[in-house]
Amino acid sequence: MIRGMGNPSSFRSDALGHGPADRRLAILREIGRAGSISQAARAVGVSYKAAWQALDTLTNLAGVPLVERTVGGAGGGGTRLTPAGLELLAAADAMHEARARAAAGWAGKARAAALGLSVRTSMRNQWPCEVRSLQASGPLVRLELRGAGSEAAAPRLWARITRESCELLALQPGTAVQALCKATAVQVLPAAQDAGAGANRWPARVRRVARGALGDEVAAQLDTGLQVVGFAPAGSGLRSGAPVVVAVDEAAVALALAPD
């Protein structure tokens, strides 16, 4: 079970910003049916690693653990949904039905298409945040963001966007946004080797590593429970549980308005 992410019996509505056909929700549903992440991945037609990444994203958006490990039994244990995971699926079903009823009452495909409220993206790091401050300098605006959670535990994040983008999104202190970042823009370094300083650098621990000739893909977890996927140099030697530092350039953080 993923720890440090608040009350496991309820979830943030950010996790409902996905369409009913989104594979992340399908994976969660299959886990509830089969009790296995690997079986869920096969049923949905994705890799085991992709299934884990889907769970990471949904967990970040929900703010609470959605699955937990089970121990023992005939199969030697497995994975099951938490109460929050069950609630999320029930809410997703209810929203799907409500959207279908609303779409049926609208005439024309163009109007029905306007009900597609979810935004799909290839960026695997997605964090619900709130704008805390803005600093304009020429054509750029630097934004201070805070992740969801208590003031002490919420991660602090900085983003740098153009003044035009800031105006078009009507960003101001208190605005709820989704911060997004490609995994390839996230640098992961062993904690003992990190001598850097500056914004967007957080201590974390490795959860999974996929080694490759061009770089080692690392899934890490911050103390606050936030999941981050990034890359370490090839041959990093990192293993599960190792302390690392996760670094993201301010300009690599994209922003989108969070679902209402």
Upper half-sphere CA count for residue 220 (Cβ side, 13 Å): 31
Tell me, yes or no, whether 74 and 196 share the same domain. Answer: no
Query: What residue ranges in 108-194 does DSSP mark as E strands?
Result: 125-137, 140-147, 156-162, 176-181, 186-190
Could you tell me the pLDDT band of residue 72, with boundaries at 50, 70 and 90? low
Instruction: Determine how many CB atoms are found less than 10 A away from the CB of residue 13.
Output: 16
pLDDT greater than 50 at residue 99: yes
Q: Is the pLDDT of residue 128 over 80?
A: yes
Query: Which single residue is written with the structure tokens 């009823």?
Result: 101
Residue 227 in any domain: the answer is yes
Are 91 and 83 in contact by the 8 Å Cβ rule? The answer is: no
How far is it, in rounded angstroms, from Cα 137 to Cα 7?
40
Q: Within this chain, do residues 67 and 179 fall inside the same structural domain, yes or no?
A: no
Mean pLDDT of 103-115: 48
Residue 33 reports pLDDT greater than 90: yes
- pLDDT in the model for residue 114: 38
Mean pLDDT of 202-220: 95
Model confidence at 23, in pLDDT bands (50, 70, 90)?
Answer: confident
- Against a cut of 0.85, is the pTM above it? no
Cα–Cα distance between 138 and 49 in angstroms, integer?
42
Choice between 4 and 10, residue whose per-residue pLDDT is larger? 10
Residue 190 falls inside a structural domain:
yes
DSSP secondary structure string, 112-137? Answer: HHTT------S--EEEEEEEEEEEEE
Residue 4 lies in a domain: no
pLDDT at 131: 95
Q: Where are the beta strands (DSSP E) in the chain?
A: 67-71, 77-81, 125-137, 140-147, 156-162, 176-181, 186-190, 201-210, 216-222, 227-232, 243-248, 254-257
On the question of pLDDT at 232 being above 60, the answer is yes
Into how many domains does the chain fold? 2
Query: Are residues 69 and 17 part of one domain?
Result: yes
The number of angstroms, rounded, from the C-alpha of 198 to the middle of its chain's C-alpha atoms is 23
Together in a domain, 134 and 237: yes
pLDDT at 215: 96
Residue 73 has what pLDDT?
58
Residue that finishes a domain, picked among 95, 113, 131: 113
CATH code of residue 59: 1.10.10.10
> What's the rounded mean pLDDT across residues 40-55?
90
If asked whether residues 183 and 67 sit together in one domain, one would say: no
CATH number, domain containing residue 155 = 2.40.50.140
For residue 20, the model assigns a pLDDT of: 44
Domain assignment present for residue 222? The answer is yes
Which domain does 109 fall in, by range?
Answer: 13-113
Q: Which of 65-74, 126-135, 230-239, 245-254 has the lowest mean pLDDT?
A: 65-74
Question: Is residue 64's pLDDT more than 50?
Answer: yes
